[in-house]
Structure 1
Amino acid sequence: MLLRCALALQIGLLFALPQIAAARAPAAPYTIAAGPLRLALVLFARQSGVQILFAPELVVGKQAPPLTGRHTIDEALTRILAGSGLSARKLDSGAILIVPASPAAPPLVSAHDESPDGVRPQGLESPRPDILVTAFKYPTLLAQSAADLTVIGAQLQRQRGIDGLATLAQATPSLNIAQNNSAASRLTLRGVYGRGEPTVGVYYGDSPVSGPSGTTFDPGGIALDLELVDLARIEILRGPQGTLYGASSMGGTLRFLFNTPDATGASGEVRGGASITRHGSPGHHLSAMVNLPLASDTLALRAVAYDRTTGGYIDHPRFALANQGGTERQGARLALVWTPRPDLDLKISYFHQETRSNGAQFFDDRDGARTNDLAVRTPNANTLNLANAALDWRSDWGTLTALATFYRWKVLRQSDFSDVLAGLVDNPASCLRHAGLGQGASCTQTQWEAYRAFVSTRLPAILYQPMWVTSANGEVRFHSEALARTSLTLGLFAETRRDRVDSITARADAASGLLVRPLDITGARAIWTGLNQTALFGEASYDLSPRVRLTAGLRLFHYGKTARGDIFTPNLITGTADIAPGRFSTRESGSNLKLQATWRPSPDLVAYLQMADGFRPGGVNITPSLSEENRSYAADSLRSYEVGLRLGLPRAGIELQGALYHIGWSDMIYNASSPNSAFVYNTNIGSIVIDGAEANAHWQASDELTLALSASWTDARVARDQERAGTLGQLFAGDRVPMIPRLAASFGLAYERRLTSGTRLWGRLDAVASSGFASQFNTLQSSYARTPARASLDLAVGVERSGWDLSLSLRNALDTHRPDQVLATSLGARQVFAPRPRTLGLELGVAF
């Protein structure tokens, strides 16, 4: 209710905003001695507070005159670049790009001004040379980035309907998302799929976020899914990022960058839309943004509020319910930026989001398409509160950045536990526990009858798990490019994370399928975990020549993990009383290495050769009846060898990007089940080998037509035969890593046409396809299931004008029902996650 009131208040403020023109930057004092142009531009950036971007080969051998006194940015750059044959170009982001001078271009030409109607088309994942990225923890240009990096801008994000992780994965073939029965998601890049800590680092702004551990010590299984409103861009960095990002970035890093407050003028935006889903209930969304300067050019506030309802489409005939599995997401975001001096700024942000689902988002296709026959109903919810502060201080030697993040994330997970209890109705060990007999004894017929009658009184059952995770983490780093041929980044990272989960097996009401209140408890336990980690990291780049750059990175890390469990009510059926008492811990120190050679023979070609490491912390298991051998599991690590390139063919309007890689993964962390299938624990299963290739092509066929093609091939497999304990069983050399399609591809076509001055029409066609995959390593595993190959098609059309835009979309236009993912339990149940049926959506956005 509070969020809805905040949203209404923001919309009211928007219509009351005056239209304030952006203020012209005042003159600033400069003290720059005569010398190399490269150094003069770096010093200018530090003293003006403006980001300057340039290709190294443009300034080789060039000198700059001295610059002293007070000047505007235009005046200062004109003096610095005098006689160099170069000019300055202002980007939409506010940064300045140094380019070869054009006689027709006035000083500081804005990229936005190149479009005669004031509307700059973005097309399809546009690789324009002026896209600014910060994936390497300092500003650089996408076209100069020696990495397998994809950037999705705000306009493309809106046109593709990317509002969260699920829709992002649908639009990005190389990003895989694995779902489970509790409305949670596991992200995978480059086939690095495992249990335990995440394998893909997720950052919202400057904040890394990991999910709660739960009873299975699997924070990677619950990725944070914030609403993507007022977004600046998404950066998808593929491949291990062990030096700059550390743990949990073994497969890559996903960064969501939101728009920051603007102190030069007031602005706002309202967006709203509605959707109709075939076979399902309708949905809607509404968001509002307001940007308020609080002090001219120095202090600004940006506030965002949103409300989204996504209708369900799964029927639950047992309870006479239709269109279950829908979600509601409400939230707000506040950001404050203070720039007291050109060389100093402070950014503070706060995120709040509440998410609720009204039931399971999967079905068993043996009962009919989109039909759920669970004996219970499993609504889930989560609430996030996250605060972040970032301080940047720019000196003549470089930029010092200090970051601090604190978040508390509460997740309520409910899942059907009826099959697990019913599957133990003939279990001798369970009967002995119920009868109070020790090992070696046997139940009498009377005791068996009493035990089976007891089990029947505990059905249907829900596993009710409220869990919390809190994290305080921070980073201090220094980046400098002031040295003649060297760029240097040094940093220190630390995190303290605490988790708790209450795992309660409780009886559900057979008539409604919901938990009996107050809880009718069969068993209850709690697990507390802690993670402390620190790291010292650095990367240095040296220009061996104007065309060749060498980079070396190193990260030294140390972590400690602790866990303990308490039993409040022993579950006699599953045997939770057999948990070993006490506090368990594990710790480890190590290092990650990165070596890279970059060749840039021209501004339109970048090639690189790279070796990079990644790792994840190990941990301990708090699992009943677990042997001491399986009580703990070690950290896993990998080493990747990669060759890649970016090639631009400006005359043909073509941009190409590609990468080939080989990964050796040691001590992969995966999950195994207890013999009675009631519990899951983590274990190291040995070596994995991953070979892959990725390619992206972008062709500006004409001023109006753009085509894009992306494809990935991933071959992730077991390196050698391995005998494993528990239900994981035997693994054989060549077994495929679960949940990873070998082939994935997308094709996009965008059409844009100017109708009148300031108005343009656009249309999009986007197709995505991938090959099938299995849910387990091989068919010997009882929970093996296979997902078939699948494809989907999206269509969208819209009109945009300065101040407003209107769009109509048709998602899953062919109404395919081939599943996105099929899971199976060891007890034979199937869980099918299908794409949303054909959905027609309408959206209107108005800017002020």
Structure 2
Amino acid sequence: MAILRLALIVVAAWTFSALAGSHAFAAPNRISLADALQALARRGHLSILFRPETVSGITAEQPGKSVSPEAGLEAMLRGTGLRAKRIAPRSFVIERVEQGKAESIGHASTIEVERAVYPSPPSSIVVTALRRPTLLLDTPVSMVVLGGDEWRRFAGRTNADVVKLAPSLAISSPGSGLDRMSLRGVFSAGEPSVGLYYGNVPVLGPSGSSSDPGLMTPNLLLVDVERIEVLRGPQGTLYGAGSLAGTMRVLFRQPELDANSGSVDASVSLVEGGGTGFDASTVVNMVVAPDSAALRAVAYRRREAGFVDNVPLRKSDIGTRDDVGARLSLMWEPEVDWFLSLEGAYQETDFDDFGSSSGDLGTYRTGREVRLPFSSRFWMVSGIVRGALGRADMELSASRYRWVPRRSLDFTRVLEDLRGDQHACAGYFGRLPEIGCSTGELADFGNYLDSVTPAVLDQPLRVTGTSAELRVSGSGKLDWTTGLFFNRRIDSGESSAHRVDGEGMIDGETPAQSLRRFSGALRQFAAFGDLTWHVTDLLDITAGGRYFRYRRYASGESLWRNPATELYGSDAPVSYGYSTRGTAGRIRLDFHPGADWLIYGEVAQGFRPGGVNIIPGLPSEAAVYRGDRIVSRELGSRLSLARDAVQISGALFRQTWSDMEVSAITNNGAFAIISNLGNARIDGFELGLDARAGEHFEARVQTTYLDARLTSNQLSEIAQATGRRGDRLPYVAPLIVSSVLTGRWNLDESMRLTVGLYGHYTGRHYSRSDRGDIRAMRLGGGGSIDLRASLELAGQSLSVGVSNLTGSHERVWAADTVFAPRTVTRIQPRTVSVGLSSRF
């Protein structure tokens, strides 16, 4: 509430200053172009973005007051060698045009809707992290931005590839198709702590049997990407629930209205000691009506080769992943200030098995006696209407996605650990736990366990999400954004235990040992606002708030009770509901000591919905878990030196995390639940450096340091909890570094050679808070180097890449739990790839 009160003070102060000030547009006949653009933006309530170096030394005449702002902008830029690229209905970015076209600029419109001829320096990159266009150098958010060209040179395809270029972002993969994302050390179960957006579509996984939507993330292949933005720190005001620790936004390329074009890319790869993979994609851009409507279609197919051998099942190169998918988008601009965008996507993903190894069998060998395949089908449709309403921009978006994954979990250890357990034995014989079993009955129970192991859990799941958002924004002395958001998510699924055959697959001739069904729904509504008051040329004050309300419902029943893991009498249907409302806010001060320097300080809140555990026999007081919160205090800066040759960014932060949603195992070891256990504090800093040396070399280094510790004991009467105050949080690396060194050489007028060297290092960390626990496993403590080289000639290119050049065996995930005993996932071995591409 204190943050919201500060927000009201900011609004009141701005209102008073606006009433006392004058809105007249007055300037001498000949003034600097920078001053003229700023005056025109104020008068016309436009957003005009430019770097001082771009307009330095250029003057312009002031158009008459009767001239429209758009006409005045065109007149100012005529003959300057610059143009205004429209990036939103009332937003423009000023950029240079090709020298050969500069002479004719006076005879053509300087307001163009096309891409820049030359790559922009980092400071000139336009981002939309604040839900409105801003230059990266002027954006007071700790973030990593990956441009589409950089992403293509890196040969990135998956969310896991983003991790290599964006420290602070981490992904853990405890099984085939399971990907939990975290940022700034906020690693936990429950609702996702990182918001994932494909365009304007927020996506997340089903709750599943463990009420853990964050365990699985829809993983579209990132083909034909315009930009990837990784926003670090709570984004609760503008992005709401699910952005507790930050947000990752994937912005795909949109149809181009001015020309037909296309591309074809194909590559093959060979994993050392593993299988062979391939990657093929095609993109077609077709103009339907010149400068008015266009279509863009993308199709792809990819195989990521496996490299782990299963010793008892005599299977080689398991862990192969296959993807096939397509996207289709339509853009229509009936008028300059309005456009409609429609997009659809579909993808099939299949894993033949979980590509992990056993900690005691060797680097890339597993002793697992079961196979854990994964398959999924993903559909997504979305629509956006954007336009100008007087002096404001309006955007209305709606989306719907459906994800149908089917996952497998190893159930063998769960059953084996029940051998000799009196309570489990009593359940097997249909008695209450306190009655127990005789010696003979325990032997019979052991024989039963022998007959049903090895075993897997087969879990077909479904989730459907529908979202809608209305957002209105404006620029001037006050930049403002306000809107409404609605989301409804419905999921369902079932979990059945099966014995496997000699091949490690489900034995179709043996009936299921148990069957549980569950379903749930989450409905959210929110209203939000964000205001930036430009107090002076040096100081901005921003305040924002979000009011949210959500309701959660879940139900489940055991159709066939598992006699070993589910207590006698626990098969009755259960259902629970949970609802809450609240607010989240932020306030920020931005100080601009110079045109190339930004310093900001911010206090921001993030939140995440609570939920419901649907577990047989679970006490009712443990069924509902509350939402958790983070309060972040951050001091950051962005600085450009030597005429954009050097870019430095940094952030120092402390995050206070309360009522943590964490994963816990019930005391009998059979079920995973979510519970509120403890509080934590995360201190850290992020540092980024971009530098260009002459015309040929460019370097980027990103570093993240984290000190994430519990500030209270994790105590529970119904689940296993070992964390104590002062312990480090599990799966949080204290140091992460990524680096990129790129060299470019023009061999002749039409041939270019590009070579990139990519490094990534992760510090040592552990799978449990208590490092003295015998089950705590080490991760990290190493890194990898990737090499990419491409030769481009007249729209054609040949590329060669070597991933994991040094042959690192770094552990990227490890655990010792009943569902994953002594399990280790390692970085892919050295992989060589060769690719060809053609653009037309």
- Using the size of structure 1 for normalisation, the TM-score is 0.89
Is 1:675 matched up with 2:671?
no
Aligned to 1:21: none
Aligned to 1:278: 272
Determine which of 381, 384, 408 is the counterpart of 2:375. Answer: 381
Is the Cα contact below 8 Å between 1:386 and 1:406 reproduced in 2? yes
1:62-211 equivalences in 2 (<5 Å): 64-66=62-64, 76-80=72-76, 88-90=82-84, 96-98=92-94, 127-211=121-205
CA distance in 1, matches of 2:349, 2:244: 28
CA distance in 1, matches of 2:755, 2:432: 71
Is the Cα contact below 8 Å between 2:426 and 2:437 reproduced in 1? yes
Is 1:723 matched up with 2:704?
no
CA distance in 1, matches of 2:50, 2:278: 44
Determine which of 606, 609, 631 is the counterpart of 1:614. Answer: 606
TM-superposition CA deviations, 1:582-634 (whole Å, max 9, x none): 32011111111110111123221111111100000011111233223312111
CA distance in 2, matches of 1:35, 1:101: 29
1:261-300 equivalences in 2 (<5 Å): 261-300=255-294
Report SS of the residue matched to 2:426. Answer: helix
Seen in structure 2, the aligned counterparts of structure 1 residues 62 and 660 have a Cα distance that, compared at 3 Å, is: farther
Q: Alpha-carbon deviation of 1:89?
A: 3.6
Is the Cα contact below 8 Å between 1:724 and 1:731 reproduced in 2? no
CA distance in 1, matches of 2:781, 2:589: 38
1:421-820 equivalences in 2 (<5 Å): 421-481=415-475, 483=476, 485-509=477-501, 511-517=502-508, 520-575=511-566, 578=570, 581-651=573-643, 653-779=645-771, 783-820=775-812
CA distance in 2, matches of 1:564, 1:652: 57
TM-superposition CA deviations, 1:294-334 (whole Å, max 9, x none): 12221111110000001100001222211010100110000
Report SS of the residue matched to 2:747. Answer: strand
Determine which of 817, 842, 846 is the counterpart of 2:838. Answer: 846
Give ranges in structure 2 of 5+ residues lacking alignment.
1-22, 28-36
Report SS of the residue matched to 1:571. Answer: coil
Seen in structure 2, the aligned counterparts of structure 1 residues 607 and 442 have a Cα distance that, compared at 3 Å, is: closer
More deviation, 398-407/61-70: 61-70
CA distance in 2, matches of 1:645, 1:193: 26
Seen in structure 2, the aligned counterparts of structure 1 residues 486 and 518 have a Cα distance that, compared at 3 Å, is: farther
Report SS of the residue matched to 1:455. Answer: helix
Which residue identity is paired with 1:290? V
Determine which of 227, 230, 234 is the counterpart of 1:233. Answer: 227
Is 1:399 matched up with 2:397?
no
Aligned to 2:19: none
Q: Alpha-carbon deviation of 1:782?
A: 6.2
Q: Alpha-carbon deviation of 1:108?
A: 6.3
CA distance in 2, matches of 1:120, 1:839: 35
CA distance in 2, matches of 1:100, 1:256: 27
Give ranges in structure 1 of 5+ residues lacking alignment.
1-31
Q: Alpha-carbon deviation of 1:131?
A: 1.0
More deviation, 651-660/733-742: 651-660
Seen in structure 2, the aligned counterparts of structure 1 residues 396 and 56 have a Cα distance that, compared at 3 Å, is: farther
CA distance in 2, matches of 1:44, 1:787: 56
Is 1:259 matched up with 2:253?
yes
CA distance in 1, matches of 2:131, 2:574: 42
More deviation, 86-95/250-259: 86-95
Determine which of 192, 203, 207 is the counterpart of 1:213. Answer: 207
Which residue identity is paired with 2:706? T
Q: Alpha-carbon deviation of 1:823?
A: 1.2
Seen in structure 2, the aligned counterparts of structure 1 residues 827 and 247 have a Cα distance that, compared at 3 Å, is: closer
CA distance in 1, matches of 2:820, 2:180: 23
Which residue identity is paired with 1:151? V
Seen in structure 2, the aligned counterparts of structure 1 residues 68 and 652 have a Cα distance that, compared at 3 Å, is: closer
Which residue identity is paired with 1:833? T
More deviation, 87-96/493-502: 87-96
Report SS of the residue matched to 1:723. Answer: coil
Report SS of the residue matched to 1:319. Answer: coil
Report SS of the residue matched to 1:724. Answer: coil
Aligned to 1:10: none
Seen in structure 2, the aligned counterparts of structure 1 residues 827 and 327 have a Cα distance that, compared at 3 Å, is: closer
Report SS of the residue matched to 1:374. Answer: coil
Is the Cα contact below 8 Å between 1:748 and 1:764 reproduced in 2? yes
Which residue identity is paired with 1:521? A
CA distance in 2, matches of 1:108, 1:658: 39
Report SS of the residue matched to 1:366. Answer: coil
Is the Cα contact below 8 Å between 1:636 and 1:665 reproduced in 2? yes
Is the Cα contact below 8 Å between 1:617 and 1:635 reproduced in 2? yes
TM-superposition CA deviations, 1:31-64 (whole Å, max 9, x none): x996685474478797xxxx842479999x9994
Q: Alpha-carbon deviation of 1:119?
A: 11
Q: Alpha-carbon deviation of 1:668?
A: 0.7
Which residue identity is paired with 1:339? E
CA distance in 1, matches of 2:821, 2:631: 37
CA distance in 1, matches of 2:780, 2:432: 48
Seen in structure 2, the aligned counterparts of structure 1 residues 487 and 87 have a Cα distance that, compared at 3 Å, is: farther
1:266-415 equivalences in 2 (<5 Å): 266-415=260-409
Which residue identity is paired with 2:491? D
Seen in structure 2, the aligned counterparts of structure 1 residues 810 and 451 have a Cα distance that, compared at 3 Å, is: same
Is the Cα contact below 8 Å between 2:666 and 2:720 reproduced in 1? no
Aligned to 1:16: none
CA distance in 2, matches of 1:397, 1:465: 52
CA distance in 2, matches of 1:434, 1:380: 31
Is the Cα contact below 8 Å between 1:713 and 1:742 reproduced in 2? yes
Aligned to 2:34: none
Q: Alpha-carbon deviation of 1:228?
A: 1.0
CA distance in 2, matches of 1:77, 1:101: 16
Seen in structure 2, the aligned counterparts of structure 1 residues 87 and 703 have a Cα distance that, compared at 3 Å, is: closer
Q: Alpha-carbon deviation of 1:791?
A: 1.1
Aligned to 2:826: 834
Report SS of the residue matched to 1:432. Answer: helix
Is the Cα contact below 8 Å between 1:33 and 1:65 reproduced in 2? no
More deviation, 151-160/801-810: 801-810
- Calculate percent identity across the aligned residue pairs: 31
Is the Cα contact below 8 Å between 1:672 and 1:725 reproduced in 2? no
TM-superposition CA deviations, 1:771-830 (whole Å, max 9, x none): 111111114656422214011111111112341222111100011112122211158821
CA distance in 1, matches of 2:540, 2:706: 29
More deviation, 824-833/214-223: 824-833
CA distance in 1, matches of 2:547, 2:342: 29
Is the Cα contact below 8 Å between 2:634 and 2:651 reproduced in 1? yes
Seen in structure 2, the aligned counterparts of structure 1 residues 600 and 784 have a Cα distance that, compared at 3 Å, is: same
Which residue identity is paired with 2:801? S
CA distance in 1, matches of 2:370, 2:550: 40
